[in-house]
Amino acid sequence: MENSIKQFSLPDLGQTLEHRGIPKFRAMQIASWLYVKRVRSFDEMTNLPSALRSQLALAYPFTFPTIADRQVSHDGTRKYLLELMDGTLVETVGIPSDDGRLTVCCSSQAGCAMGCLFCATGKQGLRRNLLPGEIVDQINVVGEDFGQRISNVVVMGQGEPFANYRNLMGALRILNHGKLLDIGARRITVSTCGIIPKIESFTLEPEQFTLAVSLHSAHQNTRDLIMPELARFPLSDLRDALKSYSKETGRRVSLEYALIEGTNDDDQELHRLVRFCKGLLCHVNLIMLNPISDSPFRPVSRKTLERWTGELERNRINATVRQSRGADIDGACGQLANSVLKA
């Protein structure tokens, strides 16, 4: 996969062409063919000299994902299991809205090394990072299948995006580029478990991409239990990084909190979350956990959810309940891939 044409960010593609004695402007032409016109071979890039097309075909295998499985929910959500050129499987979700918007939840890695106990992807371990073009291709697969333009992208699928930072940023800039997919930066959200050094790097990026953090507990002991790989990043340091992010960018952070019965849903957990949010420019997304087979974790009752929402609102902390989409089609990240791999 290292030789795939999809390995390059736009600047890297330009530099690679220059090293081969090819004018740098060809990079935008090639990127447009790859990600806007969505061709399936170099031969289709008709505004490139035939010699260049042949040179590219010899140097870089042309790759495009195939749909290994596709499930459609009663609510219109579509979940895709994509097979990449080397056989790697990765999940993507298309989520339509009543107002006509179409959001893609894409993956940044095949599998994940974070090992969060309640996550289906964590059961797979990490297979590999996705290339910039493999991330972008997920958005294009969904757009083609729905037959409409993608309005929003959330990098909340399989993997920890900030563990694949360079490829992630290359993909985001292709998505955002005005001559390519032209998706507004504020309509692109990256969700991290809390990799603090990369949050600091993300803070300094010039684009206005938005940030979400999978928090799931503001109690250090609980978080270390259910998200063991994050124990090296204390909550106090995470909060400082998020405060700095908002101060530098003027943008609020979304805090993702999946309520798990008997684990992170008692009054002490709620009060710690309130304290964590005080003084932060943030918004809390409360999530009803998608049950996973072979997992002891279960979602909370509607009564508990309402209690948490009410207490956050009483403390003037912006909070919403994320509507569960695609629960009837292996909706949680990793469920579809796991079921296919088991089969």
Token pair recorded at residue 256? 């993702």
Query: What does the pLDDT look like over 299-310, one tens digit per residue?
Result: 999 999 999 999
pLDDT the model gives residue 1:
55
Is the Cβ–Cβ distance between 241 and 213 less than 8 Å?
no
Share of the chain above pLDDT 90, in %: 86
The DSSP-derived string for 191-217 is: EES--HHHHHHHHT-SS--EEEEE---
Q: Is the pLDDT of residue 288 over 50?
A: yes
- The number of beta carbons lying within 10 Å of the beta carbon of residue 192 is 26
Please state which of the ranges 11-15, 155-159, 331-335 shows the lowest mean pLDDT: 331-335
- Tell me if the pTM is above 0.85: yes
Selected residue with higher pLDDT from 294 and 16? 16
List, in order of start, the domains of the chain with CATH numbers.
5-59 (1.10.150.530), 66-342 (3.20.20.70)
Pairing state between β 282-288 and 253-259: parallel
- Average pLDDT over every residue of 280-296: 87
Instruction: Give the model's pLDDT for residue 343.
Output: 40
93-135 pLDDT, tens digit per residue, is: 999 999 999 999 999 999 999 999 888 877 778 999 999 999 9
pLDDT at residue 336, rounded to an integer: 52
Residue 290 or 77, more confident: 77
**Which pLDDT score is estimated for 63?**
87
pLDDT tens-digit profile of 200-254? 999 999 999 999 999 999 999 999 999 999 999 999 999 999 999 999 999 999 9
More confident residue, 338 or 114: 114
CA atoms 52, 60, 133, 241: torsion sign: negative
∠ CA 153-305-93, rounded to 5° = 20
The per-residue pLDDT for 174 is: 98
The stretch 183-189 carries a mean pLDDT of 98
Catalytic annotation, residues: 91, 333
Q: Give the lowest-confidence range in 64-73, 116-125, 276-285.
A: 116-125
pLDDT at residue 331 greater than cutoff 60: no
pLDDT value at residue 339 = 46
- In this structure, the strands spanning 253-259 and 210-214 are parallel
Kindly write down the DSSP assignment for every residue of 60-99, as one continuous string.
S-----EEEEEEE-TTS-EEEEEE-TTS-EEEEEEEE-TT
* Average pLDDT for the chain: 93
The pLDDT of 153-181, averaged and rounded, is 98
